[in-house]
Amino acid sequence: MTDNEQLRASALAFRDLHVPGRPLVLANAWDAVSARIVEEAGAAAVATTSAGLAWALGAADGDRLDRDDALAAVARITAVVRVPVSADIENGYAAEAKGVGDTVRAVLAAGAVGVNIEDALYGEGAGPLRPVAEQAERIAVARAAADAAGVPLFVNARVDTFLRGAGGVGESLERAGAFLAAGADGVFVPGITDPAIVKALVEGVDGPLNILVGPGAPSVGELAALGVARISTGSSMAAAVHGLVRRAARELLDTGTYGGLTGGFDYAGLNALMGRAG
């Protein structure tokens, strides 16, 4: 099987994991070792978190990471896992729509078979969200680039209405419909976990719905019962790990004790896990 055939097979397998009521559950990773641990835990796929990845590479989240650096990290992840990988590419790492196509080609070259593309805008004077028509064009370019490569890349269109305080259910459904019509395969609406709102989105979105979860959110089972097709932890796992580092470091420096280091992955086990990677 050629590399392109393997990529296509992985993309089809990843697509099939998006089932309303039996959701794909993603514990988002940010580097090779976190991805390998997630896979070893039994995950059917691995997705990156752009925030966690940016932090690991010495940058802040929010459209500040260099595309080459980001996709080099994605390539390191795909090299150590056997399950499909989806890459969070923020706004496409491109100022113009044409550049999103270049990014998608680089994503495929890195071995990933899915992308998240967000509609939030960053920078001084920017509105909270990109205009619908502009974002739809960027999604259409991503779709065309993947189709030209012969890979059914799963394009997950992120709708940041709730996250950025830029609208409610109606605005979210309007954007979701335009993005699906442009070639997106699924819709990701972070910032809400209220069951009534989630249900309204499930019923109104003509495609798989992705919900962002964290402490206090409904359980996977509860979201599955609402018809959610994909559940992501986003940056929360990376943040939890970094919180552990801060607590353990403060304990070590303030009291000279090591209680915060208990419960960690043992050296031999982690070394063996990475030795079997890929």
What's the pLDDT at 125?
58
User: What is the pLDDT at residue 126?
Assistant: 67
State the pLDDT at residue 186.
Answer: 98
* pLDDT given for residue 2 in this prediction: 86
Ordered by where they begin, the domains of the chain are 3-235 (3.20.20.60)
* Counts for the chain of helices (H) and strands (E), in that order: 11, 8
- Provide block-wise average pLDDT over 10 residues at a time, the chain (278 residues): 91 98 98 98 98 96 93 98 98 96 98 97 79 98 98 98 96 98 98 98 98 97 98 98 97 97 94 88
Which segments of 152-216 are extended strands (E)? 154-158, 186-188, 209-212
- Over the stretch 105-164, which tens digit does the pLDDT of each residue have? 999 999 999 999 999 998 755 679 999 999 999 999 999 999 999 999 999 999 999 999
Q: Which helix (H) or strand (E) holds 106?
A: helix 97-109
The reply to whether the predicted model has a pTM over 0.85 is: yes
SS3 234: coil
Q: 46 has which bridge partners? A: 85
Query: What pLDDT is stored for residue 124 in this prediction?
Result: 57
Name the residue type at position 29. Answer: A
